[in-house]
Structure 1
Amino acid sequence: MNCIIVDDEPLAREAVELLAKEDDRLNILETFNNARSAALFMEEHPVDLIFLDIQMHGMTGLEFARSISKNTLVIFTTAYSEYALDSYEVEAIDYLVKPIEADRFKKAVEKAISYHNLLLKEEKENIEDITTDFFFVKSERKYLKVSYKDILFIEGLKDYVVIHTENKKIITKMYLKTIQNLLPENIFFRINRSYIVNLQHIESFDNNDIVVNGQEIAIGNGHRDAFFQLFASRRI
C-alpha cells in the first residue's frame, strides 16, 4: 500500500515512519508537516493510506480527512484521546494515541490492509476482462462492451471513473488505479492524478498539456518525465 505520513511534529513523523518500515506491505511515499502540502502531493500521486495527526497548524487532520476520497484510508495518530468520536464521523480505519505501541500499530495496519483488499475486490468485480481487444464494464446494472481502441481517455471522479469514447460516456464505481492496472500499458498512460489517456488518440501536446479529441488535459508534474520518455522512445 502506498502511504504518506502527515504530522507537524518531526519526532512523531519519524516514530510512525520507523514503525511503518517494519512492514514490507507499506510503501512510504513521503512525509509532511502540514495537510495542505499533503493535499498537493495527492493531486499527482495515488495514496492508499494516510497516517494523519489531528491537531495541526492550518488545516486540521479532521478537515483534511473530510476532503479526500473514501478510497484513501486514514489512520489517525494523535496525542489526544478525546477526538476518537470525531474519527468515526470521517470513517477512519483506526485511531492511535501517542506514544504508539508497535503491537497496536500492527493491528491498525492489518485492519487497513484488509479493508483495502475488500475495496479492490469490489472494484474489480465491476469489470470483466474478456480479450486483449475489449472488456465489459458494469454500468447502470448491466455490462457494457468497451473496445480499447474506442476509449479516448478515462477520468477519475472520487469513487467513480468516467470512460470517455467518441460516442458516449460510461460511468462506473471504481478506483482509477484499479482500471489502470487492467489496461494495456502500451496503449494507455496515466497523465495526471485524475486522467488516463489513450496514447493513440493524442492529437498534440506541449510541455504542459496534451489534446485528446479537442480537449486539453494537463500533464501532471509527477508524470511529465515518463510521458516525454514515451515520446523519445517513439511510442507516441
Structure 2
Amino acid sequence: MKCIIVEDEPIARKGITKMVSAISQLELLDGFNSAESAAIYLQNTEVDLIFLDINMPRINGIEFARTIPKTTLVIFTTAYSQYAVDSYELDAVDYLVKPIDTARFRKAVDKAIAYHTLLMDEENKSVEKVADDYIFVKSDRRFYKVNLADILFIEGLKDYIIIQMENSRIITRMTIKNIYEWISKEVFIRVNRSFIVNKDKIDSFDNNDIYIQKYEIAIGNVYRDEFFKTMMRCI
C-alpha cells in the first residue's frame, strides 16, 4: 500500500515513519508538515493510505479528510482523544492517540490492508438474503449463514461493512445505511455514522462510549439522544 504521513510535529513524523518502515506491506511515498502541501501532492499522485494528524495549523486533519478521494483510506493520529467521534463520521479506518503503541499501530495498519484488498477486489462479498433472524453472506462462491443474534456490532467503512461476531468477522460490500434498513430495530441500534450495535451484546455504556467485550465504540452526537432513550426503555 502506498502511504503518506501528514504531521506538523517533526518528532511525531519521524516516529510514524519508523513504524511504517517496519511493515513490508507499506510503501512510504512522502511526509508532509501541513494539509496544504499534502493536498498539492495528492493532485498528481495516487495514495492508498494517509496517516493524518488532526490538530494542525490553518487546515486541520478533520477538514482535510473531507477533501481526499473516496478510495484513499485514513488513519488519524492525534494527541487529543476528543476527536474520536469526528473520525467515525469521516469513515476513518482507525484513530490512534499519541504516544502511539507499536502493537496498536500494527493493528490499525492490518485493518487498513484488509480494507484496501477489498477495494481492489472485483469479486467482492455481498449480503444476498435477509430473514428475520439471519442473513446470508456470499464469499468465494459460497453462502455463509450469519445468525443476527451472534452479531456484536456492524461497522461501516465507505462501501463496505464489517459484521463482527465473538470469534470471527465478515467483511462485505454493502453500505451501513442499507444493512440498517434490513435488520431489526428491536435488536440493533445505530450509535454513530459508522457503527450499528446489537443492544443485547452491550456490557456497559457511559455518556460517550459503549463497551462490548473488548471493543469500545463512541456514541455520536447526532445519535446520543435516541440511544439513551432506547436504552432507558430496556432497563
TM-score, normalised to structure 1, is 0.52
State the one-letter code of the partner of 2:110: E
Note the alpha carbon deviations across 1:53-88, whole angstroms, 9 max, x for none.
000001110001000112000000000001000000
Structure 1 residues 62 and 123, CA gap change in structure 2 (3 angstroms): farther
1:115 partner SS: helix
Q: Could you tell me which runs of 5 or more consecutive residues in structure 2 were left unpaired when the two chains were aligned.
A: 126-158, 160-235
Q: How does 1:1-236 map to 2 (within 5 A)?
A: 1-122=1-122
Q: Deviations over 1:91-113 (max 9, x none)?
A: 00000000000000000000000
Identity of aligned residues (%): 58
Q: 1:74 is paired with a residue of what secondary structure? A: strand
Kindly report the root-mean-square deviation, in angstroms, between the aligned alpha carbons of the 2 structures. 1.7
Aligned in 2, Cα 1:39/1:93: closer, same or farther, shift over 3 Å?
same
Mapped to 2, the partners of 1:88 and 1:27 lie a distance apart of 25
CA distance in 1 between counterparts of 2:56 and 2:122 reads 34
* C-alpha distance in 2 between matches for 1:111 and 1:101: 16
- Structure 1: where are the runs of 5+ without partners? 126-158, 160-236
* Deviation by residue 1:11-43 (Cα, 9 ceiling, x = unmatched): 000000000000011000000000010010011
Aligned residue for 2:19, secondary structure, equals: helix
* 2:3 maps to amino acid: C
1:124, distance to aligned residue in structure 2 (A): 8.8
Alpha-carbon offset, residue 122 of structure 1: 3.8
Residue pair 2:49, 2:74 contacting (<8 A) in 1 also: yes
* Structure 2 counterpart SS, 1:67: coil
Secondary structure of 2:57's counterpart equals coil
Stretches of 4+ aligned residues off by more than 6 angstroms: none
C-alpha distance after superposition, 1:169-209 (max 9, x if no partner): xxxxxxxxxxxxxxxxxxxxxxxxxxxxxxxxxxxxxxxxx
Aligned-pair CA distance for 1:45: 0.8
After superposition, give the CA deviation of every residue in 1:110-149 in whole Å (9 maximum; x if it has no partner).
0000000011114899xxxxxxxxxxxxxxxxxxxxxxxx
Q: TM-score, normalization: structure 2?
A: 0.52
122 and 63 in structure 1: CA distance in 2 versus 1, 3 angstrom threshold: farther
Asked which structure has the greater CA Rg, the reply is 1
Change (3 A) 1:68 1:81: same
Amino acid at match of 2:107: K
